[in-house]
């Protein structure tokens, strides 16, 4: 297992990805401190989702990815997940016909022996391990404010609740590193702040590290320990929010005049 006492959660070095000759990421290197919430920002097409695809092992890449000091670069996505990387997707990938609880349980399949999917699809009796995992899924939904909807089909839930189900599904794997790709997309400002506050609290409670992509720069600067700025597939700057906010290149290349409005 990765070393949980490490003070750097994630380190990437010289990451590069091309799609049919088009460079999506090039020479990207940075570290993220262990614990709490950090963020990746950048304009549309900057390479944020591609970066998450590299870290989680979904995309083939050049360069290295280290989780708590362990080199994962040569491992497939399922091994990286088993070693502690969980993620959500920019477009939620929930199974509409299943309940919120069963969707969360799908995130635990790597931790269950003997086919969790079949345990969702077949009637009781379930094993003791399955019961324990159901209780855990229920607890997570409760902590995210969804205990009243756990048995509802996800396609009947409001958009914000579906986002929370996705987060719960990633959390049930008890990740060391949680990657959230625009978890607050489509939410109102208050709902987005509440969701990020819940994620922050969860990270503080469990010691996991969360890295999120978020377009609301003000929100990012309020919740993040460390901010990584990508621009056109390259790292522009990475550092504490106040440092990033003061960086001339960030102001010029990405944030423009609106930046002066953001309090950090
Ligand atoms: N599978 C793919 N095939 C070809 N090009 C791709 C693929 N995935 C991403 N790209 C390209 O790589 C670049 C980075 O895309 P990416 O989706 O990582 O950006 P992003 O920062 O997440 O943008 P957004 O804010 O719109 O989500 C873009 O130019 C995109 O068109
Ligand atoms: Mg994206």
What is the whole-number distance in angstroms between the Cα of residue 44 and the centre of ligand 2? 7
Q: Is 90 helix (H, G, I), strand (E, B) or coil?
A: coil
pLDDT of residue 250: 85
Q: Is the shortest distance between the CB of 50 and ligand 1 below 6 Å? A: yes
Q: Per residue in 169-192, is it b (16+ CB within 10 Å) or e — as a string?
A: bbbbbebbbbbbbbbbbebeeebb
Final residue belonging to a domain, choices 140, 158, 173: 173
pLDDT of residue 124: 61
What is the whole-number distance in angstroms between the Cα of residue 130 and the centre of ligand 2? 34
What is the whole-number distance in angstroms between the Cα of residue 20 and the centre of ligand 2? 19
Within a domain: residue 90? no
CATH number, position 187: 3.40.50.300
pLDDT of residue 1: 47
Within a domain: residue 22? yes
Which tokens go with 84?
Answer: 């502690």
Q: Is the shortest distance between the CB of 257 and ligand 1 below 6 Å? A: no
The predicted model scores a pTM of 0.90
pLDDT of residue 71: 97
Q: pLDDT 10s per residue in the chain (264 long)?
A: 445 567 999 999 999 999 888 999 999 999 999 999 999 999 999 999 999 999 999 999 999 999 999 999 999 999 999 999 999 988 878 999 999 999 999 988 765 555 556 556 666 656 888 888 999 999 999 999 998 999 999 999 999 999 999 999 999 999 999 999 999 988 888 999 999 999 999 899 899 999 999 988 888 999 999 999 999 999 999 999 999 989 998 887 665 545 444 544
What is the whole-number distance in angstroms between the Cα of residue 165 and the centre of ligand 2? 20
- Helices 128-143 and 159-171 pack at an angle, to 10 degrees, of 130
Q: How far apart are CA 56 and CA 52, in angstroms?
A: 6
Residue 107 per-residue DSSP state = T
120 and 146 inside one domain = yes
Q: Is the shortest distance between the CB of 184 and ligand 1 below 6 Å? A: no
Q: Is the shortest distance between the CB of 229 and ligand 1 below 6 Å? A: no
pLDDT of residue 263: 47
Domain range holding 31?
1-84+175-264
């Amino acid at each position: 297992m990765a070393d949980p006492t490490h003070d750097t959660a994630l380190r990437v070095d010289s990451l590069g990805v091309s799609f049919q000759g088009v460079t999506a990421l090039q020479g990207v290197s940075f570290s993220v401190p262990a614990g709490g919430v950090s963020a990746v920002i950048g304009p549309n097409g900057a390479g944020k989702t591609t970066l998450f695809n590299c870290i989680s092992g979904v995309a083939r890449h050049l360069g290295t990815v280290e989780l708590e000091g362990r080199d994962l670069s040569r491992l497939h996505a399922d091994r990286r997940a088993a070693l502690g990387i969980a993620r959500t997707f920019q477009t939620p990938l929930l199974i509409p016909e299943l309940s919120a609880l069963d969707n969360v349980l799908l995130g635990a399949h790597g931790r269950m022996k003997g086919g969790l999917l079949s345990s969702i699809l077949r009637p009781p009796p379930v094993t003791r391990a399955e019961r324990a995992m159901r209780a855990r899924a229920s607890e997570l939904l409760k902590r995210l404010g969804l205990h009243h909807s756990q048995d509802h089909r996800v396609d009947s839930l409001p958009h914000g609740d579906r986002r929370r189900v996705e987060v719960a599904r990633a959390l049930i794997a008890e990740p060391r590193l949680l990657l959230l790709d625009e978890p607050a997309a489509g939410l109102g400002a208050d709902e987005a702040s509440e969701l990020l506050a819940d994620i922050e609290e969860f990270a503080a409670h469990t010691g996991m590290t969360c890295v999120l992509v978020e377009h609301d720069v003000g929100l990012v600067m309020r919740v993040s320990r460390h901010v990584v700025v990508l621009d056109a597939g390259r790292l522009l700057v990475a550092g504490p929010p106040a440092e990033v906010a003061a960086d001339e290149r960030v102001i010029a290349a990405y944030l423009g005049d609106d930046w002066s409005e953001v309090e950090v």
